[in-house]
Structure 1
Amino acid sequence: MKKAEIPQHIVDTAMSLAAEKGWRDVSLADISSSAKIPLAKIHDLFPSKRAILTYISSSVDNQVTDDEDGDRLEQSAKDRLFDLLMNRFDALQSYKVGLASVVHDGCRDPFMGISYLYNLRHSMALVLEVAGLSTSGIRGVIRIKVLSLLYIKIFQVWLHDDSVDLSKTMSALDKGLERIDTWARRCSRSGGHEKSAHAL
């Protein structure tokens, strides 16, 4: 195995074990044994299981950035966000069963939940910026919070979406973004601003 492939191999092993026995019961020693990589090496790369989740989140964030398309800015804000968020779900697809275990155990572990929400805020801010929507100021803070809440809701739909094309996830995301867009446009009009493509 090439050195550059080791981190991903560790992550894949961790997610497989999470799917098999539950994230809470998986230890770094378990991962070491299954991945056939010395525990010291794993600890150097991932000093905690939380670091593994951060790695997954960062990897997906990088994919969102790498997939940046200049032509996307010609679409509506709603369509840009839809494409970017669906790209995230596609990137996470291979980890779905393992992440379901992480979410289940995270509900019983406040510290894990707080850590996840911190990563989520960063990821949603990145999605907004790539979509051409500023995250600066009060409006930016609101955008991040609203998109984070929507993502958490759609994430639950995705976890239980067994359709080949993720049609349930796409439908729920489209409806959620439509509601947000409608709300944003109403707020813009009530504030005396003209309707714009950047209502979100």
Structure 2
Amino acid sequence: MTTAKTKQKILQTFLDLLSDHPYEDVSLPLVAEKAKIKLSDMRGAYGSKLDLVAAFAESVDKTVLDERDEDMHDQPPRDRLFDVLMSRIDALDGHKDAVRALHRAARKDPALALDFNRLEVRSQKWMLIAAGIDVSGLKAGIVAQGLSVAFARVVGVWLDEDDEGMPRTMARLDKELDSGSAFMKRLNGIEGFAKGMRSFLRKASAGRRGRRRQSQDDGDHEPDYSSEEPAGA
């Protein structure tokens, strides 16, 4: 069984290789060779390059969750989310070249972009949790997807920014969150309308069933002639 230490060594080797090579050129045998491990250990740790990308995303998630600022709990949701996403940028900072390689690969390969998007949506659900923003069900998936797209735009700016203060990155995040706030208002309005329609349809359906039952009861009722006198009596 592959140890946690070996898995971490493999992941770090993968990220180091991405810093100098395109994603498509980094093969599992190359990672194993550079990490100085057997292919069987490679197989036991990660079954594909996508598994390595998933492990990277998970490690970033953990860093953000561990370093969450508890003093932000009384701040507005938008401010908490801004803080969490900037923490995510900070967590990515030591792997900027690797992130750049992943972004380039996604732009060239739509199928790979979909795979990466699925991983990012999962991560953004955790970022929402870290920010104390409670969304669930179908709405959680919609919000996390929107946040994934927005964060990808922010990362695109960050990759081209050299200023350590990251003014352009923060300005872009501000802009994306403003757009997201407007989207959430529309989504809440749609959700409220949908709930109202579901309630109306349930009541209408219940009313139809009640009328059908009443009609059946009336049709099944036999007239009682026992108290009537015979004709001609």
Q: Is the contact made by 2:64 and 2:91 (CA closer than 8 Å) also made in structure 1? A: no
Which one has more relative contact order, counting CA pairs under 8 Å at least 6 apart? Answer: 1
Structure-2 residue corresponding to 1:197: none
What is residue 98 of structure 1 aligned with on the other side?
A: 98
Over 3 Å counting, the alpha-carbon distance change for 1:150 and 1:41 in structure 2 is same
In the alignment, is residue 148 of structure 1 matched against residue 148 of structure 2? yes
Report the more deviating stretch, 99-108 or 135-144: 135-144
Q: How does 1:100-179 map to 2 (within 5 A)?
A: 100-179=100-179
What's the C-alpha RMSD, in Å, of the aligned pairs?
2.4
Residue in 2 aligned with 1:196? none
* Residue 77 of structure 1: aligned partner: 77
Residues 68, 130 of structure 2: 8 Å contact kept: yes
Question: Number of residues paired by the alignment?
Answer: 190
- Residue number in structure 1 paired with 2:89: 89
Q: Give identity over the alignment, percent.
A: 31
Higher gyration radius (CA): 2
* Amino acid in structure 1 at the alignment position of 2:86: M
Q: Which residue is equivalent to 2:12?
A: 12
Whether the 8 Å contact between 2:154 and 2:173 is mirrored in structure 1 is yes
Q: Secondary structure at the match of 2:78?
A: helix
Distance 2:84 2:141 in 1: 19
- The TM-score with structure 1 as length reference comes to 0.83
TM-score by length of 2: 0.72
- Gap regions ≥5 residues in structure 2: 193-233
1:187 CA drift (Å): 7.1
The amino acid across from 1:22 in the alignment is P
Q: CA deviation at 1:186?
A: 7.2
Deviation string 1:93-131 (CA, Å, 9 cap, x unpaired) is 122112211221222323321211111111111111221
